[in-house]
Amino acid sequence: MVYIANHDGVSALWAQPVHLTNAPIKAEPKRLISLNGDPIFTFAWSMKGDQFALARGRISTDAVLISNFR
């Protein structure tokens, strides 16, 4: 399983091995890529599984107050 983790301004893709049996050995997650700056929003693997693309950027929010609207 591959997932996104965003901590302290660093976005990373992590791979966590998943065991379907009750094996006593548990594998630790492995960092695939780590990027400073803008967070990773989503990613997708190629059909062959040897490449991936990701989308990242800034999160911006604005508030607008409209009053006396008729």
For residue range 9-51, list pLDDT tens digits in order: 889 999 988 876 666 677 788 999 898 888 999 999 999 989 9
Residue 43 tokens read as 């990613």
Domain count, the chain: 1
Phi, psi of 45 (to 5 degrees): -90, 155
Residue 29 covered by a domain: yes
Amino acid 37: pLDDT? 82
Amino acid 20: pLDDT? 66
Residue 52 covered by a domain: yes
Amino acid 46: pLDDT? 94
Residue 29 tokens read as 């997650």
Residue 15 covered by a domain: yes
Residue 63 covered by a domain: no
pTM for the whole structure: 0.67
Residue 69 covered by a domain: no
Q: Which domain holds residue 17?
A: 2-56
